Amino acid sequence: EYGLAPWRVEALFLLGSAEVSAGDPVAPTLAAAVELGVRTGALVQVVQADILGTEQMITTEGPRAAVPTARRAAERAGRLRLTALQAMAELLAASAAALDGDAATATALVEAAVSRPHAPVEAQAARLTVPGLCRLTAHDLVAANAAVDAGMSPLLRHGSAAPTAYFGLWMLLRTVVGDRDAAAREELRGHPTVQSGPNAAALTYADAVAAGRAGDREEAVSRFAAADAGLAQL
């Protein structure tokens, strides 16, 4: 109403972030923040929105679809010398490449992210997590769990939220391979990132595994179906 475009972009970005956290696959307010940010020069929020959009696309459309958005965010951040955001975008692009089976590209992107000035703590964690994603696509769950656990466990106490969905993956892998699984489920149950759709579904899948191991077939089937239904809404 008063023409305060930068504040409007910030407000739209925060509302759009809430949409993404709630599992909205479209997140129209986030898209509005990007459109207005590009038009008015509020490019920090544009880069942040692209990073959020990339993580969402990995979950809803698959890793290959997310790569162009991640690379665009990294290029924009690089031009603006926002090296921490550039590293985050490169880490998401690396994760997408790893999940798409391109280990060489994933490794190169992680090394680029780690080398950026002011690289966030997630960059060091990704050095371990991204190879774990490669092992996951190769169906080596034990090796995937070891790598993802080594990368993600330090972030649990850091208050980090990016990439959000890997907290759910961390807990689900620990449960499936039987590695301190009850502790992992309780850790995620009390973590803020459990509010995101993928993490909530991961926790329900893990509860299904635990129920099956305990011999409660009916509960296991019910929880597995509930997790499927939760992911279908993303």
Give, in order, the Cα–Cα distances in Å from 211 to each of 194, 207, 216: 20, 6, 5
The two tokens of residue 77 are 């951040």
pTM of the model: 0.84
Q: For position 1, what pLDDT does the model report?
A: 79
CB 30 within 8 A of CB 52: yes
Mean pLDDT of all residues in 95-114: 92
State pLDDT tens for residues 54-104: 888 888 888 888 888 888 889 999 999 999 999 999 999 999 999 998 999
In this prediction, residues 181-204 reach a mean pLDDT of 91
Q: Is 113 helix (H, G, I), strand (E, B) or coil?
A: helix
Task: Calculate the alpha carbon distances from 1 to 4, 89, 106, 109 in Å.
Answer: 8, 33, 45, 43
Is the predicted pLDDT of residue 20 greater than 80, yes or no? no
Give the model's pLDDT for residue 194: 85
What tens digit of pLDDT does each residue of 130-171 get?
Answer: 999 999 999 999 999 999 999 998 888 776 655 677 899 999
Cβ distance 222 to 192 under 8 Å?
no
Helix, strand, or coil (residue 42): coil
Mean pLDDT score of the chain: 89
More confident residue, 26 or 146: 146
Contact 196, 164 (CB under 8 A): yes
Angle at the Cα of 30 from the Cα atoms of 25 and 31, rounded to 5 degrees: 90
Gap between the Cα atoms of 97 and 47, Å rounded:
20
